[in-house]
Amino acid sequence: MVQAIANTELTLVDRRQKDYHLAGLIQLDPITSRGRSQVSDQGKRGFLALEDGTVYEGVSIGADGEKDGEVVFNTSLTGYQEILTDPSYRGQIVTMTYPMIGNVGINRQDCESSKSHVAGFIVRESSRVSSNYRSEESLSHYLIQQSIVAIAHIDTRALVRRIRDRGAQRGILSTIDFDHDSLVAKARKSPGLVGRDLVREVVPEAVREWTETLHDLANTSASPAAESGFHVVCLDYGMKWNIARHLANQGNRVTILPGTASADEVLALDPDGVFLSNGPGDPEPLDYAQQTIRGVLGKKPVFGICLGHQLLSLASGAKTFKLKFGHRGANQPVLQCGTGRVEITSQNHGFAVEESSLPDCLEITHRNLNDNTIAGVRHKQLPAFSVQYHPEASAGPHDSAYLFDTFQRMMHQHSQR
């Protein structure tokens, strides 16, 4: 049964468009009294349909078209540009819970990859003014240029409650199909994330040497560290650029390999440490990545983040499972089990390591305080550790940046053998 949620929101949209008309931002259509924007195409209808039959109607703020994906939400107040360009969001339609998005515009320096990776984008309200000295273009212009289907003016609180109650759902965003039954049928036929290898869609095509360090605004020290003499090889499963910046900021030589590389290819570069990056989707189908990790464990120090954490755990004998609605936001509390200290962290994942399957060789080092799931592990015999969250932040708090120092010390200790 299709449940349309539109009447209340259309009333709110009509009221807001009349306010914009009085402010000179749009012209009202003389027949429908609906707004025609002089700033962007914010009067065009857009729909979100979920597999449970719910349909939301709003207005388009991005490209025309239709895109399916898993509908998720992110609770961050800032960092929408980093979210849009994070490859971990491949295959997902992201809903922002903060009500006003786009107020600081878009700039090239805050990108986390070369393009946007989200399947679609949903906000309560898109700012029509970009007010920041670093802004180079508006959010709406960027979404159109990146061919991202996006809508605004839906009740995001109701949508998020539905996801929290029923779990992340397959959905479809459309500005070209207005038939509710058709949209719901398409949502139900979409592939979802479980069992798919999305990493192959985002891995780099070639090996890359990385030299860029942290931006002045993000660098907590006076300057990047002196050359450490260490060579870090990153297995890129969809790595955020700020991770590479952190590793380079430690004075390391950083080489980025596609996440499909073999253990022999990694070891041939003679690294002092191996980094396992974040990335999209379900970790269990990635047999090639698990095999590579097994091939370097014990030979080189290993540090994993997010998907890299899950892959290290799988390679060590654990299993993973899909979370009901995932952890996505820059305000996720994590407990350090050894010290009792609490970190506020940036997170983005829909899968987690299953505690009951954890092998004896792995020790839990961190826990998510929202649901007590595993947020970090350490290998008891080998120089390897990982966390489920993002110590590089971007955007987010810097509480966990110490983990890059931990990796440096591990490489130093290993080099002394």
The residues that are catalytic are 306, 390, 392
Contact 232, 247 (CB under 8 A): yes
- Where are the extended beta strands (E) located within 306-397? 320-336, 342-353, 362-368, 374-379, 384-387
**Euclidean distance between the first and the last CA atom of the chain, given in angstroms as a whole number:** 66
Contact 333, 345 (CB under 8 A): yes
> Rounded to whole angstroms, how far apart are CA atoms 372 and 279?
22
As a three-state string, the secondary structure of 69-101 is EEEEEECCCCCHHHHHCCHHHECEEEEECCCEE
Q: Which two tokens stand for residue 173?
A: 């965003």
Residue 152, SS3 per DSSP? strand
Contact 294, 276 (CB under 8 A): no
Q: Which two tokens stand for residue 111?
A: 């990108």
Contact 324, 350 (CB under 8 A): no
Q: Which string of DSSP letters, residue by residue, matches 296-327?
A: HBTTB-EEEETHHHHHHHHHTT--EEEEEEEE
Q: Which two tokens stand for residue 101?
A: 């998005």
What letter represents residue 356's amino acid?
Answer: S
Phi, psi of 11 (to 5 degrees): -60, -45
Q: Which residues pair with 111 in a beta bridge?
A: none
